[in-house]
A and B are shown apart, each in its own frame.
Chain A
Amino acid sequence: MIQVEALTKLYGEFVAVNELSFAVQPGEVMGLVGPNGAGKTTTLRCLAGIIPPTRGAIRICGHDLAGAPIPAKRQLAFFTDEPRLFDYLTVQQHLAFTARIYQVANYEPVAAQLLDELELTPKKDALPGELSRGMKQKLVIACGLLHSPNVIYFDEPLTGLDPLGIRRMKDSILKRAQAGAAIIISSHLLHLVEEICSRILILKNGRKIIDGTLDEITRRFSEQTTEANLEEVFFRATGEKEEGSVES
């Protein structure tokens, strides 16, 4: 569903992403993790068609994102960490606008269901300025899921959500994956990644360190035969050391 080959993004001489290749199949949830400045957000922006890659190929559901961006973008949705909304459109108007952009026929029942699931129905006539950050995030999610995307990218999806919202978000992600969507989640919350991702890709300095299931990368980077959690594996894989820790 998502195929990335030799993705490279350069800013002058600075290499933000370097020859990144991976694939995500329908039903898979891939966790994209790495230290700050590893290139996670740049990678997701290239995959969403927001910024052009310097080199490489990206295919979304068989469509080349560079050569056929329209059919590719019809299949995908990208949820950024910071909700971006139009200040002067109400919740309801945002959904109407999105439905027209994505040509979602008979969107009203789907929109109503999404608003209900995300507890936004009482706020359907409110402007973004009247919503809390978590509600804005939910509105962005409602808009993104309206056209039933087959490919979904999340950049720090739990930021600003209350505990119930977090639980529902996790359930929603798993539900979409079970329905056949290919999902990439970028997050620093390794326990979240561990909980819901079937595969993990670790980036550092724009390069892929490893890409595989949690078991595979644990076997590769764990120094012990007993199970190690993703956090320990992450530190070993990226060579990051916690200051003041006692060496065992």
Chain B
Amino acid sequence: MLSALLYLQFHSLKNRLLMRFKRLKQPKYLLGGIVGALYFYFYFFRYLFGLHHPGPALPSAASPADLSLYESLGALVLLVVVSVAWLVPRERAALAFTEAEVAILFPAPLSRRGLIHFKLFRSQAAIFFTTLFLLLITSRRGGHAWIHALGLWLILSTLNLHFLASSFARTMLLDRGITTWRRRLAILALLFASAGLVLLWALRTLPHPDFSGFDPSQPLEPQLQTLKSYGHQILVSGPLPWLLFPFRIAVHPYLAPDAPAFLRALLPALLLLALHYIWVIRSNVAFEEASVEASRKIADKVAALRAGNWRAAGKQLKVKRAPFTLRSSGSPAVAFFWKNLISAGQAFTVRTWLIIASAGLIFCFALARTVDTTGLPTLAGMFAGMLLIWSLLVGPQLLRQDLRQDLLHAEILKTYPLPGWQLVLGELLAPAAILSAIQWFLLLLAVAMLSGSSGPGPTGPAIIAPGIGAAFILPMLNLLTLQIPNAAVLLFPAWFRLGKEGAQGIEATGQRIISMFGQLLAFIVALIPAAAAFAIVFFPVRMFLGLNPALLLACLAAAIVLAAEAAAGLLLLGWLFERFDVSVELAP
């Protein structure tokens, strides 16, 4: 059996890598691969292979007392993770198999133990890559890479076994009539009892922290130092280190400063790992039925991810009310707008936004009136302004109710009697409208806060005029910036296929870097004509009509230029969509 499983793992990995390498034959994907490889080399690999020394490592530079503290902290983190694994889940034990594995392995002459071994063996591949990834990150801080690697592997493997064993234990408890809530109460009681014990010891044994010199107008550093010292003593002395003993065993090898210390820490950690393994293997729990159901849900999630529908992948879809009644006559682009608003959810209905905007305005005026002297309105206004600017770049990446979501429905979309530009316009309307609504809200907040503040800088009409101008510009800018990732989807569709076979690995990282810089560059280039139109209108109008009318008219001119650019972009995207060959670009 083991040889069959090794065969499956080896050839699956080999073929997956071969597929990704074959894709690199196309120059557009090769570029992503090169950029990704360079990024990984300069940011990670040169530290890992000792070609660059960033400085002394964390464990070797730390004193034994500090190491003990880090160990306790790490153990505390593990305790939290393990507690969550016992508290939160309520389903029966289900091993995550793919649908193919369920169809082939479950009817095969394999014992339940054999299936568990298969699952454990397969999870080692994921643990290996996770260890490698974490190692790449932590190696930038120097130290013995092999100690970190083995230490991480021990922690992750032990956790993996513990999660499995705990799921079996929970199922056994359910089979014996111990409900989920009774189990949760028992675990919480145990945790609170332990915390109570530690607290009681600390109150009785440790000198109380002295905050008598606390002065709110002075820096808080001495008080923070006192707290830190108090916490340190709790973590390294008294009952807590003993309560955390098993978790400390798991963490200790990772923090070993050198090879001898690592070897001393290795045996207890391996013993802990072995005990977990025995616990898993000896648990006699029926997981098959739950695993079949789990595999179906996983398949549905992967399919949803591949289709770009992250919301469907996250949780059970619910029926959403339509934002408005869609008539059967009128522009077909509105049908896509309507459809994608439904996809975006109830948060983006007109009524919701009117309520939020009204509440926001009332809050702003109240804040401006009551705390005018502290500068808080100015701060709030500036914060809203910063969020607005941030949303210009990040918003198009977060709101994906467009071609990125409908990519795998291209076959249906191609049958619709619509010219390409109209279909693309329809797809972009929803995210553009949502983003514009969010930005108008932030703009309203910023203008309300800044126009009424008594701080330095422009106030009143000098804020309102550019605010109104910005309100014209933002929707056009959003329509333009959204075209960039959608163009990328049409030009490089393989980069946007998520799920197990999709955008992972070095070339995917390279693609994201290229997309990020490409978007920034396109954004800057798109602003140039608009900036020119702004300048052409602003200076002459200012001479004759004054600053505020000049700002307003110049913003309007910029908005018109951006609209023209957006229209040209739509025609280009429409052309790209019309020549998009689904049988080539979306081939598995």
Contact = CB atoms under 8 A, between A and B. Distances in A.
B319 A90 contact: yes
Interface string A93-115: 10011011111111100000000
A96 B342 contact: no
A102 B330 CA distance: 10
B342 A52 contact: no
A212 to B, nearest CB: 29
A88 B342 contact: yes
A48 B412 CA distance: 10
B579 A99 contact: no
A137 interface: no
B582 A50 contact: yes
Interface in A118-167: 125-127, 129
Interface stretch (A20-28, A73-81, A170-178, A221-229): A73-81
A89 interface: yes
Nearest to A143: B412
A88 B312 contact: yes
Contacts of B578: 69
B322 interface: yes
B320 A88 contact: yes
A87 B327 contact: no
Contact of B583 (A42, A76, A97): A42
A70 B578 CA distance: 12
B417 A88 contact: no
B31 to A, nearest CB: 22
Interface in B506-531: none
B339 A105 contact: no
Contacts of A87: 304, 307, 309, 312, 317
Interface string B415-432: 111110000000000000
B586 to A, nearest CB: 10
A93 B406 CA distance: 16
A139 B332 CA distance: 20
A71 B334 CA distance: 20
* Most chain A CB within a 10 A radius of its CB, from B318, B342, B406, B578: B342
Given A87-B304, A105-B329, A74 B584 contact: no
B416 A101 contact: yes
A45 interface: yes
Contacts of B326: 96-97, 100
B351 interface: no
A78 B328 CA distance: 21
A87 to B, nearest CB: 5
A70 B418 contact: yes
Given A90-B319, A105-B329, A50 B417 contact: no
A84 interface: yes
A101 B322 contact: no
A12 to B, nearest CB: 10
Given A74-B417, A129-B317, A84 B332 contact: no
Contacts of B541: none
A61 to B, nearest CB: 12
Contacts of B318: 127
B338 interface: yes
A93 B342 contact: yes
A84 B410 CA distance: 10
A101 B583 contact: no
A51 B583 contact: yes
Instruction: Give 4 closest A-B pairs by Cβ, nearest first.
Output: A100-B335, A73-B417, A99-B328, A74-B417
24 contacts: A11-B583, A45-B411, A45-B582, A50-B414, A52-B579, A70-B419, A74-B417, A77-B415, A86-B406, A87-B312, A88-B320, A93-B322, A93-B339, A96-B322, A96-B326, A96-B328, A97-B339, A99-B328, A100-B327, A100-B329, A101-B418, A107-B328, A125-B319, A129-B300
Interface of B: 300, 304, 307, 309, 311-312, 316-320, 322, 326-330, 332, 334-335, 338-339, 342-343, 406, 409, 411-412, 414-419, 578-579, 581-584
Given A101-B417, A103-B329, 4 more contacts: A49-B414, A70-B417, A86-B409, A100-B334
